[in-house]
Amino acid sequence: MPEFTTTTAHVALAVVLQVRGARLRVLLWQRARPPELGAWALPGGLLGADETLEVSIRRHLAEKVDVRGLSHLEQLETRSEPRRNRAVRELATAYLGLVPADVDPVLPGDTAWHPVARLPQAAFDHRSIVLAGRDRLRAKLSYSNLGFALAPPQFTLSELRALYAAALGHEVSATNLQRVLVRRGVIESTGTRREAGPVGGRPAAVYRFRSRRLEITDPFAVLRPPHGARAGPGAG
């Protein structure tokens, strides 16, 4: 077993999530050299000597995606297990980043969106960090307005319900979602309607989030699946 040097490295990592194709997906890049050659890793890298953690992760993310597309970024957790990286003693501070569903960042060839429910072989402890980010998102969707970070600026209730279902991993009632979010003052009508599709039907009302900054709306709320509902495609 290799011995560590007295130097401790500190890296910043990002769990960047987006609902794409009705699934919650995470941004990963494939390592091209040891350690963990060929495994998929979270974007990030070493903390610079003159950087804060947030400055560092934004710099590393800029090498993978257009960070202007991030609608939300918050610190998630710090990992300090002595042998999380077998080669060096390394601390890792992870961030949760969210990208709205209507944004399609250009990615380098070694980077791709992967379903959180079907992760590939992940480097180091990155799989459990991804799941921690997913769980943070699910919790905050219940007690805050964080849905704004997944949604485009304007949406119908059915579109918003689909985003929540993908992120939460279970079906969500559009009626209940409307009642909860309107009652809390989280979303509001734009006063416009979306034209009916080719199959007809009534034009759908268009909504927006009242604020696109994080707010705690109900600290005790939990969005649960309808009774008897099956887990959705984003479960796991």
**CATH number for the domain harbouring residue 183:** 1.10.10.10
The answer to whether 53 and 12 have CB atoms below 8 angstroms apart is yes
Range of the domain at 154: 142-209
Same domain for 94 and 25, yes or no, is: yes
* Predicted confidence band of residue 76 (pLDDT cuts 50, 70, 90): very high
Last residue of a domain, one of 116, 140, 164: 140
Q: Give the span between the Cα atoms of 135 and 47, in whole angstroms.
A: 25
The pLDDT tens digits of the residues spanning 153-182 come to 999 999 999 999 999 999 998 888 888 898
- Shared domain for 22 and 135, answered yes or no, is yes
- Among 5-14, 181-190, 204-213, the range scoring the smallest mean pLDDT is 5-14
**pLDDT(223) > 90:** no
User: Are residues 117 and 191 both part of a single domain?
Assistant: no
- Examine the domain organization and report whether 31 and 57 are in the same domain: yes
Q: What is the pLDDT of residues 60-75, one digit of tens each?
A: 999 888 888 899 999 9
- Residue 31 and residue 178: Cα distance in Å, rounded? 43
Residue 217, domain member (yes or no) = no
- What's the number of domains the chain is made of? 2
Statement to judge: residues 84 and 162 lie in one domain: no
Model confidence, pTM: 0.90
Task: Give CA–CA dist 124/111, Å, rounded.
Answer: 17
Q: What average pLDDT does range 212-223 have in this prediction?
A: 87
- Asked if pLDDT for residue 229 goes beyond 60, the answer is no
